[in-house]
Amino acid sequence: MGSVKQTFRSVFQKFQRKGFVIRSFEEQNDRSVSGHDMHRVLSAFDLVILGIGCTIGAGIVVLTGVAAHDLAGPGVVLSYVFGGIAAMLTAFCYAEFAAAYPVAGGAFNYISLTYGEFIAWVAACDLILEYTLSAAAVAKGFTAYLASLIQVDLSFLRLQYGLLTFDLPALGSVVILSLVLMRSTQESSTFNVVMVSIHILLIIFVICAGFPFAKAENYTPFLPFGMRGVFSGASVIFFSFIGFDTVSTAAEECKRPSRDLPIGIIGSLGTCTVLYVLMCLVITGMQPYMDIDINAPFSVAFDAVGLHWARTVVALGALAGILTSLLGSLLGQARIYVVLGRQYLLPPWLARVSERSGTPVNAAKVTMITAGLLALLFDIDVLAELVSIGTLVVFAMVCSGIIFRRYWVRGEGEPLRPIGLRLVAVSVASIAFSISFTEGAPVAVPICMLALWAAATASFLMLPVRYVPETYRCPLCPWLPSLGMLCTLHLIGSLGWPAYLRWIIWLSLSTLVYLLYGLHRSQGEAQSKLSLIAGEGIVSSSHHELGRSMSDAWDSLPSSAHHPDGAGIDSETLEHMPLVGVTHGRQGIIQDVQLVGLRTETIL
């Protein structure tokens, strides 16, 4: 019993020591474990096309019918406008981070550099949900639209055995696109450009073919469910905008990341919003909102006006959108694995980059296996709800991170309390607004919550600005990122308790993995030992195996060996430690580290 308590105490102390330590960008950008750099082959145009392909999937074809028929009526057009604005608020925040920190891993890096390793690990696990489950769900959609295109029953292509399925077309789509990604980023980008071009042309065709059949009377009443219905519709269709964040994960493959990443993120999202609004105007004009089919709105609408052949065009466009969305999810997930491998939060072989192709082949293989098996064997409709809440949590973290880094900089000695309390106030006011609005409270209640949110946001202006980006800067800070927090937290509040419960279970499992593995193996653990031994600042973390040897040696020592002020260990223990010599130079300072664990001399 005593040993169990000692183990728990040791883990808790280690968690306190390193779970929220904020490392420098140089440490976060250490790529030594990857062996080779990924090839920089993507231009701003490639990134815009990648973002469009990841964002416009088959969701627009289905979600529009649900939102128009049940929630907003013709006002679903405004739902897409508000959803696009909410997504754009987050996109501005992503663009600032991406321009300043062009590293594979996207939001994981941004949050790690802002809030520390543990919060970044939580975000990474949410991103794994977003990309892996999205890839599996989209692959399932590939089978459904393939059956529609070749006009066979879905059961012919997908066998169902209770909760299990056997879906070979879904597996095949994952495997083929994974092989394309492993071959080279340039070739996968070319494939993506071709498929996105086909998809956009088909969307434009649907818009042009449908508008002549639109009738003005179908737009009346425009808001049959009021503005509450418009916002409820926005909560549903918002997930049609998810995907632009994949652009940030490809940062290491951009030719000019500081310029191209903001263009890719904002340009792709703006294009998607315009196309979505035009498609909504078509479908709500072709049929009265109560007649819009919730499963296949565009196909049924074209059938109703006699254009039966258009069903095939819609199915072909959906297939093109599914393939580009699937490609983006597989690419994004592999890059998340790369950065987690570099930080030793997952096995480091995931971070290896092929010298020939310049792609993370090991990470792509793991992504292919996990997403492929889920697509082949499981009906993941329930698990797919986790994608929504996990992605929104990450979006809220990124928006809050922009505010945090404006008013607090590591190492300047500023207290965390002023900025921390203000961020908590913004979060609480946003959640309270969401609950009061969703539960139908009197109008005065959500208005009061909005006033509290505005007051909390305005209070940031009382703090001195500590950091101004040198490249792209998110406009109207703190108002714009705070509004992004309000929108994302409001959308989280609309998801319901089942989604919260599933996310809490996933969070608990993720935390357990971190406490049992990542906490003891990560770069931050090895780095913190190096810093303690050197007695100052930060020592280069390029030799991770060396750092982990030091970490293991440290943990094997009795607690009495640790110096009470944390600067090193006592001299008696040092005298009995074996030595291994390693020399590493950095920025004019040569550090001769002699160790199996901890003995060190620093030579300037």
- Per-residue H/E/C for 500-565: HHHHHHHHHHHHHHHHHHHHHHCHHHHHHHHHHHHCCCCCCCCCHHHHHHHHHHHHHCCHHHECCC
Bridge partners of 581, per DSSP, are 594
pLDDT digits (tens, 9 = 90+) for 533-571: 333 333 333 444 444 444 444 444 444 444 444 444 443
**Nearest CA to 499 among 395, 392, 396?**
392
CA 332, CA 469: separation in Å to the nearest integer? 25
**Domain architecture of the chain: domains with CATH:** 35-408 (1.20.1740.10)
CA 360, CA 252: separation in Å to the nearest integer? 12
More confident residue, 307 or 604: 307
Structure tokens at 313: 């065009």
More confident residue, 59 or 327: 327
Distance of CA 435 to the CA centre of its chain: 25
Structure tokens at 193: 């450009």
CA 270, CA 241: separation in Å to the nearest integer? 10
For 602, the 3-state DSSP assignment is strand
For 376, the 3-state DSSP assignment is helix
Structure tokens at 556: 């094997």
Number of H helices and number of E strands within the chain? 26, 5
CA 409, CA 416: separation in Å to the nearest integer? 10
CA 326, CA 318: separation in Å to the nearest integer? 12
Structure tokens at 435: 């609950």
Question: Beta strands 164-166 and 159-161: pairing type?
Answer: antiparallel
Q: What integer pLDDT is reported at residue 33 of this predicted model?
A: 53
Average of per-residue pLDDT across 101-127? 85
CA 221, CA 68: separation in Å to the nearest integer? 12
User: Is the distance from CB of 69 to CB of 242 less than 8 angstroms?
Assistant: no
> Is the Cα torsion angle 20, 21, 27, 33 positive or negative in sign?
negative
In this prediction the pTM is: 0.77
Rg (CA), the chain: 26
pLDDT digits (tens, 9 = 90+) for 320-350: 888 888 888 888 888 889 888 888 888 888 8
Of 236-240, 345-349, 450-454, least confident by mean pLDDT is 236-240
**Nearest CA to 450 among 458, 321, 329, 226?**
458
Angle between helices 107-115 and 310-342 (to 10 degrees): 40
Whether the pLDDT of residue 529 is over 50: the answer is no
Q: What integer pLDDT is reported at residue 538 of this predicted model?
A: 36
Half-sphere exposure of 560 (CA within 13 A, CB side): 2
The length of the chain in residues reads 604
